[in-house]
Amino acid sequence: MNLVAKVLICALLAYSGAIAADDRASKQKELDMLKTRIEKLRSTIEIKEKSRSSNQTRLRLIESKIGELAGEIRATNNQLKASRKVLRNLTSEQAKIEQRIEQHNKLLAQQLYAAYTVGPQERVKLLFSQQNAAQMQRNLVYYQYLNRQRLDLIETARQNQLELERNELETRQAKVDLERILEQQQKQKASLTRDRNQRQNILGALEKELKKQGKDLSRLEANARHLGELIESLSDILADVPDQRPEQQKFAKLRGKLAWPAKGEVANLYGNLKPPSNLRWQGVIIRAPMGNNVRAVSHGRVAFADWLRGMGNLIIIDHGDGYLSLYGHNQSLFKTTGDWVEPGEIIASVGNSGGQKKAGVYFEIRKRGQPQNPGRWCKTSNWFAT
């Protein structure tokens, strides 16, 4: 390769590297702008919420705190599993080391007994126990072999003992870690119980307030309006963000192929009436145990992850081309605005936030702001593994 060709290749590589760096910087700038605009929208919603019922504000704060605590407990449970696995492995390793020590001690004892029976000056006895010079040479080689084996056994026994001491030290530390994690978990669970009791008191006060003012119907209408306003605002923001998804990930092609976001009983079907109003369900409720996984139904970017009146802890994912999926009433949120998610990725845990009495996840699909029937997008009895 001549000098000119080498210079051209280096120039091309430098140019492509500069383009890639500019592309990354451009995408990061877009993400920062998206986060800034959505954060302003979230702040506006929060200010509006604070200007309403004090009980609604208290509910928002306590449910957000419960979500954080539940997330911490989930993380602590994972730490406990990992710590217990480490302890099990150390215990198993200790048993194997002790077994090796026992085997080597038996071999070493046999060697020492053999040396004892020969008595002192064993090398001289082995050398002169035969008259034949060749036999004498063989005895010398045999003695050297026995001596090396004996030394190896002694060194192996020493290494095994050192390994056992290391194992015992790590085991003690693992037990200390386990006790610390258990104590931390007990405190977290006690806090969660107190917060849930406080939430029940707030819900009771809120229910009395609504009954006294006769605002059950207006609350449902207001909740629907708030969600609609949020989606409209998000749609305006997301319309300015270039779609970076490859063709095979286009959401429209997934109609009838999606899995449900959580495994459970589908209730409050799409299109059914929402008593006592004339409003209709724009999504479905999937009844599932508290804390179960909620998963993204498709590839996309998180456009909203926060508490919203009527929806509780809500995640909205932008799938491009005007398609959004919504997951409400979650206990904890595991993703933040701007995060990319893959199909089946855990994004939240099932809960009853938003003032719900039963645990479940509210699931919606929207196309350019208009609700779609989730039953036509998700396969019957097709669930993500929980």
Nearest to 107 by CA among 138, 164, 146, 143: 146
Nearest to 352 by CA among 264, 288, 304, 293: 288
Structural domain range at position 158: 30-214
pLDDT for the residue numbered 135:
57
Same domain, residue pair 75 and 136: yes
User: How much is the pTM?
Assistant: 0.70
pLDDT for the residue numbered 87:
87
Query: 3-state SS of 206-264?
Result: HHHHHHHHCCHHHHHHHHHHHHHHHHHHHHHHHHCCCCCCCHHHCHHHHCCCEEECCCC
Q: Which of 214, 249, 279 is the last residue of a domain?
A: 214
Low-confidence ranges of the chain (pLDDT < 50): 385-386
Q: What is the CATH number of the domain that holds 269?
A: 2.70.70.10
107 in Cβ contact with 150 (< 8 Å): no
Tokens of 78: 């994972």
The pairing of strands 378-383 and 258-260 is parallel
pLDDT for the residue numbered 283:
93
Q: CA–CA distance from 364 to each of 11, 65, 279, 322, 352 (Å)?
A: 51, 25, 15, 14, 16
The amino acid present at 93, given as its one-letter code, is E
* Within a domain: 9: no
pLDDT for the residue numbered 127:
52
Span 158-217, pLDDT tens digits: 787 888 888 888 888 888 988 898 899 899 999 999 999 999 999 888 888 777 655 666
User: How far, in Å, CA of 72 to CA of 7, rounded?
Assistant: 55
Please give the tally of structural domains in the chain: 2
Same domain, residue pair 321 and 185: no
Same domain, residue pair 182 and 230: no
Cα-Cα end-to-end distance for the chain = 58
* Within a domain: 8: no
* Within a domain: 148: yes
Say if residue 276 is preceded by a cis peptide, omega within 30 of 0.
yes
pLDDT for the residue numbered 386:
43
Same domain, residue pair 178 and 285: no
User: How far, in Å, CA of 370 to CA of 326, rounded?
Assistant: 12
Q: Which of 181, 214, 247 is the last residue of a domain?
A: 214
Q: Which of 214, 248, 274 is the last residue of a domain?
A: 214
User: How far, in Å, CA of 170 to CA of 158, rounded?
Assistant: 19
Same domain, residue pair 322 and 209: no
User: How far, in Å, CA of 126 to CA of 112, rounded?
Assistant: 16
311 in Cβ contact with 299 (< 8 Å): no
